[in-house]
Structure 1
Amino acid sequence: MIVIQAKFIFLNQEDKQIVLNLMRRWSSCMRFAYKRLLEGYDRKTLKRDLQGMFDLNSRYVDDAIMKAKSTLESARELGRSPRKVIFGGRDLFGKLQKRHINGKEYQKLKTKWQEKRKGNLYSRGDKSKKGNLNTRIEVKENGTFLRINVGERKYVYARIEAGYKKNKSRGELLQEIAESNIPYSVELKLKNGNIYAYFAIEEEYPEIKITKEKGVIAIDLNAYPDNISWAETDEKGNLISYGNIPMPELASGSKDKREYFRWQYAHEIVKIAKEKGKAIVIEGLEIKDKGKRGDFSGRKSRRIRHSFSYKSLLSKIKTLAKREGIEVIEVNPSYTSIIGMLKYAPQYMITKDIAAAYVIARRGLGKEEKIPDNYIKFLNALTVDELEELKEHVKKTVRNKQLKKKHLKEINKAIEILQSLESEPGRVLKPLDGTSFSAYDFWRVLKVAVVTPLSPEKVKRDFSVLKELLIQGKWRDP
C-alpha cells in the first residue's frame, strides 16, 4: 500500500465551506451507522435509510458504513467494549472533562477534538470506474486537482498542493496515478483549519519467483557503526559469502537526505538477492517492547529506531523485494547477536555483525541452533562463586571506567539463573532437555562467563579469542 499525503488549496472560501459541510455530514453518517450496527441493523437497510437522512449519494454512504464496521471490528479484536468507542479520541475527550483546563487552552483542545470528530471523509477507489468516482484526481494545465462530488452533478475542485520542494515527487506520482486509471482511495481530514488528503494506492506485486529453495541472503542492521551486515547461505544453511555495506549518510543530514539514502541501501540489498537468486531474511518489523532482553533491549533498540529509522529501512527492503518477485522472510530477532558472537564469529573468524546475519539466515531457513558440546561442559563446570568473584572484579573496572554498569546487571542476572538451578539434583545445564534452563538463559549466562572477563579493548568486535574454548574446550585457562 502506497500512501501519499497532500494539502488542499481552494479557489475560494465558499468551495472550502461546501467541502467542510460534506465532511461534517459524512462524519455524522458514519457515527450514526456505527450505533445502528451495534443494534444489529444490516448494511442494505442502513444504506437505503442513510442517503436521505444525510443527503449523501450511495457511494459515500456505503463507504461510511464500511468505516463504521471497520471501527466496530477493530474494537472487538482489541478486546475493548464497542459501546465505549469515542469518536474524536478518548484521550482528547478525557482532557476536556478536566475542570482545571479553561480559556484558550480549553478552546484549543475542543477545536482539535471537534475536527477529529467531524472533519472526515472517505471514498473508496473503484477499478470499474477507472480510479475513484466521488473524489477524482484531474491533471490540468495549472496544476493537479481533486474533483470532489458535493451533490447531484455538483463538483468542487481543490488544488493538490505539496507545499514543499521535497514533495515534488509525490505530485508527479499522483499525476501518473490519474493517467493510469488505477483505483485509489481518498481520505480527507481536517487539521488546524486546513483540509488534508491521504491518497492510498494498493500496489499489485508480481508472483514470487525467487524463494528460499536455493538459500537466502540475511541482513543485520547495526546502529554503531552505521552499516548493514549481510550473509549468504545455501539451502542447507551453510555459509557461502558475506559482506558489509557502510551507511555513513544515515548518521546525520536532513530528513529528506536520509530518506533518499535509505532507498538507495534498500536497492543495494535487493540487487544482491536478485543477482544471487536468493530469498531475503530480515528481523521482524513488529518490535514493541523496548525493555525486552535480547538484541533489541534498551539503548540499542532506541539507537536503531531513532538514529537511522530501522523499521523504515526494512520496510523499504520488503517493498522493493516484492516488486522484484523475491520472497521476504521475517524472523524473531531475539539473541541473534549473542548467538552469532559466541558460536559463529570465532568458528568462521568473522565479525559479530556478520555472524548475527548468519544466525538470522539460518532462522529464515527454519534451522535450530545446536549448542556446542564444549560450551555445555564449560557452563556445567561454572559455579555461582566464580560469578561472584567475577562480579567483584567488574565492580573495580566499572569504577575505572573500563567496563560499563550494564555488565553488573548482566552478571546479577546470570547469578540469579544459576542459583535457581542449585536445588536441581545432578545439575546438567542442557537447554530444552528436561530442565527449567531455557536456550536463552544458556546464551545469557554464557555471554557473561566468557565475554565480560575480557576487557573491551581486547574484545571489541573480534571474537576469535573464543575459538579455543569453542573448538578445543580450553575453558580452565586464565
Structure 2
Amino acid sequence: MKLLATYQTRIDDKGCYPFLEACGEYFGRLERKLYVDYHIKGSQVKELKRRYIAEHGITARQFNSLMGDLTARLASVRENLRWRERDLLGRIESVEQAIKKKEKEREKLLKSLAKLVPRSEEWQKKVDRLKKVKFVLHQKKRRLRNLRHKLEAVRRDLESGRYPVCFGGRKLFKAQHNLEANGFRDHAEWLRAWREARSGNFLVLGSKDEACGNQTCTYTKDNTLRVRVPERLRAGFGRWVLIESVRFPYGQEHLDRAKRPVCVVRGRKIYRPVTYRFVRRKGAWYLFATVERDDPAPSTSRWNGAVGVDLNDGFLQVGEVDRSGNPVGEFEIPVPMRDRTRGQIAAALGEAIKEVVLYAKEKGKPVAIEDLDFTAKKRGLRESNSRYARMLSGFAYRKFRAMVESCCSREGVELLKPEGKHVDPFATSVIGQLKFMARYGLSPHGAAACVIARRGLGFGLERAPEVSVLRLPSRGRASRRGYWRRVCESLKRGPGFGLRVDVLYADRF
C-alpha cells in the first residue's frame, strides 16, 4: 500500500540561510501578485505562466510550484468557509433551542408569580430567578443576532467566489493595533515580524519524470540538497546553492529510495516525485519532504480474530475477540487529554495507538475502530453542561482515526472497514454492557471494544437479552435495531451508569 508521508528536518548549514531568506521573500511576493492576477482579476493560467516566466525570470516548474501552493491555499479557504457555514448553522440551532427553553421557563415563572402573595419569601425567590432568566435570554438573543451576521458574511464570500486571504495571518495583522499587548515595542518591530511571516516559507514541486523526483531541488546520494536559484537572484548566489549534510531523523529510508529510479519507460527514468517545503521557525529553517511511502502488505488475518479500540475521555480501551466473536481479553492505555495542548494530546495519542497496533501485529489480528463524528455535538458545547463540554472538547477523533489508519498501514496491520467504512457505532456501549460485560467479566468499556471488534469482523447486530434485571421494554414487532434504540432510550431514564454496571454484575450471582 502506498501513502504520501511528510518528513521534516532542521537545516544546520546556516551558510545557506541568506539564500533561503531571499527565496522566501521573492516567492512570497510572487505568490501574492499571482493571487491578485489569478483569483481577483481572473486571468487565465496559460497566459499568466508565459508572462511570469518572461517578466520574473522563473522556470515553468517554479511557476507550477507557486500555482500549486496558491490553489491549495484557496481550496483550504473555501473548505474552511463551508465548514464555518455548517458550524454557524449548528450553533444557531443550539442557541435557538436554548432560547425556546428559557422562554418556556420565563412563562412558567410568570404564571407561578400570579398565584403567589406579593413580597412573600417564595415570591421574592421567583422574582430573582425571573431576573436571571430574562438576563440570560437577552444575552442569548444577542448571541443569536451576532451568529446570524457572521453567517451572512460567510455566505457572501462563498457566493462571490472571491475568497479573502491574509498572507501573514490575521492575528499578526491585527496585532499592529495593540502593540504593547502583543509584545511589540513599536510599529517598526511589528513590521519586521509581519514581513518575516509573509516570507517564511516556499514550496518546490516535484515530478516523477525529473531526476531524484525534483529537478529544482535535488536530494543527491551523498545527502546534499542542490537548489536551483531563480534568475533574479543569481547575481548574488550563482546558478545552484548546495546545502550539505541534510539528513532526516525519521523517514530517511523513504527519501533514499526516491533517489533511485522506479522503472524505465521508453528510455526515460521514472522516479518517485518528492515535494519540498522550506519553512522558517524561530530563526531556523526547516525542510519538509513529501514522498510516497511503501508500506508492507497486511500480515494479519481475520481467522485469528480482531482487536477493537474504544476511544474514551482519558484512555483507550482495547478489546480482543477470537474468530467466532467471543471476547478473550481487554486492557486499558491511559491517554491524558484534559488541560493539554493539541501537540501534547497528539503525542500521547500517537504513543497509545502505536502500542495497540503493535499488540495487534503480535497477535496477528486486524484492528477495528468506530466511525464517530463529534462535529455536530461540539457546535452546541456552549449550551451544554461544563462536564459534558470538557469531555467533548478533549476528543480528537478525526486525528485519532487518521493516526490509526497511518500506523496500521505502516506496520502492515489490516484496518477493518465493513462496507467500505469504519464500524457503525450504534449502541456499542449498551450492547456490550448487556451481552458481554458480566458474562465474561469485562469492564463496560472493554465490552464495548469487543462489540466494535465483532462488527469489524462482519457480525450482525446482537440479539437483545430476553430477561434482564433492568426491566427492558417488550420487543413486540420491532426490528432488532429499532428494539435496541428503545432499550437505549429506556436506560437513559433508568439508573445511572455506575449503578447500572453494579446491578448487571450483581445479577450474575
Instruction: Give unpaired runs (5+ residues) of structure 1.
Output: 163-167, 382-427, 469-478
Q: Could you say if the C-alpha distance between residues 335 and 33 of structure 1 is closer, same or farther in structure 2, counting changes exceeding 3 Å?
A: farther
Q: Could you say if the C-alpha distance between residues 325 and 86 of structure 1 is closer, same or farther in structure 2, counting changes exceeding 3 Å?
A: same
Preserved contact between residue 138 and residue 146 of structure 1 (Cα < 8 Å): yes
The match for 1:194 is: 284
Preserved contact between residue 25 and residue 54 of structure 1 (Cα < 8 Å): no
Query: 1:205-244 to 2 correspondence within 5 Å?
Result: 205=295, 216-221=306-311, 228-232=317-321, 234=323, 239-244=325-330
Query: For residues 197 and 285 of structure 1, what CA distance do their matches in structure 2 show?
Result: 34
Identity of aligned pairs, percent? Answer: 21
Preserved contact between residue 429 and residue 444 of structure 2 (Cα < 8 Å): yes
Matched, 1:266 2:357: yes
Preserved contact between residue 379 and residue 429 of structure 1 (Cα < 8 Å): no
The match for 2:199 is: 118
Q: What are the superposed Cα offsets for residues 101-122 of structure 1, whole Å, 9 maximum, x if unpaired?
A: 5842755654444333222211
Q: Could you say if the C-alpha distance between residues 286 and 64 of structure 1 is closer, same or farther in structure 2, counting changes exceeding 3 Å?
A: farther
The match for 2:367 is: 280
Preserved contact between residue 473 and residue 487 of structure 2 (Cα < 8 Å): no
Matched, 1:151 2:230: yes
Instruction: Give unpaired runs (5+ residues) of structure 2.
Output: 83-153, 232-237, 262-271, 338-343
AA partner of residue 250 (structure 2)? R
Preserved contact between residue 269 and residue 317 of structure 1 (Cα < 8 Å): no
Q: Could you say if the C-alpha distance between residues 376 and 112 of structure 1 is closer, same or farther in structure 2, counting changes exceeding 3 Å?
A: farther
AA partner of residue 201 (structure 1)? V
The match for 2:37 is: 36
Query: For residues 477 and 253 of structure 2, what CA distance do their matches in structure 1 show?
Result: 57
The match for 1:18 is: 19
Q: Could you say if the C-alpha distance between residues 344 and 372 of structure 1 is closer, same or farther in structure 2, counting changes exceeding 3 Å?
A: same
Q: What are the superposed Cα offsets for residues 132-176 of structure 1, whole Å, 9 maximum, x if unpaired?
A: 211122354xxx4322111368111234667xxxxx732744763
Q: Could you say if the C-alpha distance between residues 190 and 169 of structure 1 is closer, same or farther in structure 2, counting changes exceeding 3 Å?
A: closer
Preserved contact between residue 320 and residue 329 of structure 2 (Cα < 8 Å): yes
Matched, 1:465 2:506: yes
Q: What are the superposed Cα offsets for residues 38-89 of structure 1, whole Å, 9 maximum, x if unpaired?
A: 2333322221111233322111101111221222233333335333222222
The match for 1:65 is: 67
Matched, 1:443 2:443: no
Q: What are the superposed Cα offsets for residues 319-353 of structure 1, whole Å, 9 maximum, x if unpaired?
A: 34334272443346575334422443135443323
Matched, 1:134 2:179: no
Q: Using CA pairs below 8 Å that are at least 6 residues apart, which structure has the higher relative contact order?
A: 2
Q: What are the superposed Cα offsets for residues 224-255 of structure 1, whole Å, 9 maximum, x if unpaired?
A: 6x664223264xxx52343234547999xxx8
Preserved contact between residue 300 and residue 361 of structure 2 (Cα < 8 Å): no
The counterpart of 1:326, out of the listed 410, 414, 421, is 414
Preserved contact between residue 218 and residue 227 of structure 2 (Cα < 8 Å): yes
Superposed CA RMSD:
4.6
Q: What are the superposed Cα offsets for residues 411-463 of structure 1, whole Å, 9 maximum, x if unpaired?
A: xxxxxxxxxxxxxxxxx999899xxx9966852651562445839xx83xx94
- Give the C-alpha shift of residue 378 in structure 1: 2.8
Q: Could you say if the C-alpha distance between residues 197 and 438 of structure 1 is closer, same or farther in structure 2, counting changes exceeding 3 Å?
A: farther
Query: For residues 46 and 31 of structure 1, what CA distance do their matches in structure 2 show?
Result: 13
Query: For residues 60 and 256 of structure 2, what CA distance do their matches in structure 1 show?
Result: 28
Q: What is the TM-score of this pair, normalised by structure 2?
A: 0.62
Query: For residues 202 and 344 of structure 1, what CA distance do their matches in structure 2 show?
Result: 43
AA partner of residue 326 (structure 1)? E
Preserved contact between residue 219 and residue 360 of structure 1 (Cα < 8 Å): yes
The counterpart of 1:52, out of the listed 51, 54, 69, is 54
Preserved contact between residue 216 and residue 232 of structure 1 (Cα < 8 Å): yes
The match for 2:109 is: none
Preserved contact between residue 88 and residue 113 of structure 1 (Cα < 8 Å): yes
Query: For residues 276 and 367 of structure 2, what CA distance do their matches in structure 1 show?
Result: 33
Query: 1:408-419 to 2 correspondence within 5 Å?
Result: none
Query: For residues 125 and 8 of structure 1, what CA distance do their matches in structure 2 show?
Result: 20
Q: Could you say if the C-alpha distance between residues 46 and 368 of structure 1 is closer, same or farther in structure 2, counting changes exceeding 3 Å?
A: farther
